[in-house]
Amino acid sequence: MSEYIAEFFGTALLILFGAGVNAGVTLNKSYAQNSGWLVISLAWGLGVTMGIYAVGRISGAHLNPAVTIGLAASGDFPVNKIPGYLLAQFFGAFAGASLVWLHYLPHWGKTDNPAGKLGIFSTGPAIDNRMANLLSEIIGTFTLLFVIQLIGANEFTQGLNPMAVGALIVAIGLSLGGTTGYAINPARDLGPRFAHFLLPIRGKGTSNWHYAWIPLAGPLLGGLQGALTYDAFFRGNTGPLFVGVTGLIMLIVVFTVVKHNK
């Protein structure tokens, strides 16, 4: 199996479990309805764990453009493989979301909640404040990439590393996910959002494309910052990209705080 096919299937599995729990908790007549945020966070963490176990030995199981680009920026991944990985991740996420739609097929017509249906596929803000929402995604994905590399620096009993990464996803979800639904992964949001847009989902409403740039730009910036920060402080490698990304994020922080306090 090629690395790209592995990324496709690994990302599809991630979204099948993740969007699947969103559907189970949201849709009427589901036994899991109203199970809550803890169940959602646990299932997303387990979804990441299963995806890594499934294809980690083949592709490294990035399953996330922010991981791919962040690792490439720090010199840990070949730049020429970025386009193939990103396409595989996007189409894998689309495929996983489509399977969730098919699995819950009788439930869509029983649920009169367009916003909830969109939330099964893609993320959205608890409070609509675009710069604060962007900052939340930056912080969440910074934490993801920074801690992933810290985890990788440790020696685990063989086979435990995916569980550590899955636990990290649960921790981010429980602690930082309440503001935007913690996309922390552009493919995780964009692929399923396209699925929501294209599939014949009864009563689905709008796909909220006005918000879609937040779970795209935020994770990419946060992932770059997380990978480059680890590279700078634990490997002693600094350069123009680290300075530039750090400066841009600091501007976003200052702008967001100043605007909030007006």
pLDDT average, residue stretch 61-81: 97
Alpha-carbon distance of 191 to 178, in angstroms, equals: 21
* Mean confidence (pLDDT) of the chain: 96
> Stretch 186-197: mean pLDDT, rounded?
98
Q: Locate tokens 């840990």: which residue?
A: 76
* Res. 30 pLDDT band, cuts 50 70 90: very high
pLDDT for 156 equals: 60
Mean pLDDT of 39-63: 97
Residue 154: CATH number of its domain? 1.20.1080.10
Among 89, 110, 90, smallest CA distance to 194 is for 90
Question: Residue 231: what pLDDT?
Answer: 95
C-alpha 182/C-alpha 137 separation (Å) is: 6
Residue 229 has pLDDT above 80, yes or no: yes
Q: What percent of the chain has pLDDT over 70?
A: 97
Question: By the 8 A CB rule, do 139 and 13 touch?
Answer: no
Q: Compute the distance between CA of residue 101 and CA of residue 115 in angstroms, rounded to an integer.
A: 15
User: 148 falls in which pLDDT band (50, 70, 90)?
Assistant: very high
Q: What is the mean pLDDT of residues 27-46?
A: 97
Q: What is the pTM of this model?
A: 0.95
pLDDT digits (tens, 9 = 90+) for 103-125: 999 999 999 999 999 999 999 99
The boundaries of the domain holding residue 139 are: 3-261
Among candidate residues 19, 208, 25, 16, the one with its CA nearest the CA of residue 111:
25
pLDDT band at 260 (very low <50, low <70, confident <90, very high): confident
Q: Is the pLDDT of residue 180 over 70?
A: yes
Sign of CA dihedral 251, 254, 260, 262: negative
Q: Is the pLDDT of residue 157 over 80?
A: no
Confidence grade of residue 153 (pLDDT, cut at 50, 70, 90): low
What average pLDDT does range 175-186 have in this prediction? 98
Dist. CA 186–CA 68, nearest whole Å: 11
pLDDT for 1 equals 65
Question: Count of domains in the chain?
Answer: 1
Which whole number is the average pLDDT over 25-51? 97
- Per-residue pLDDT at 217 exceeds 70: yes
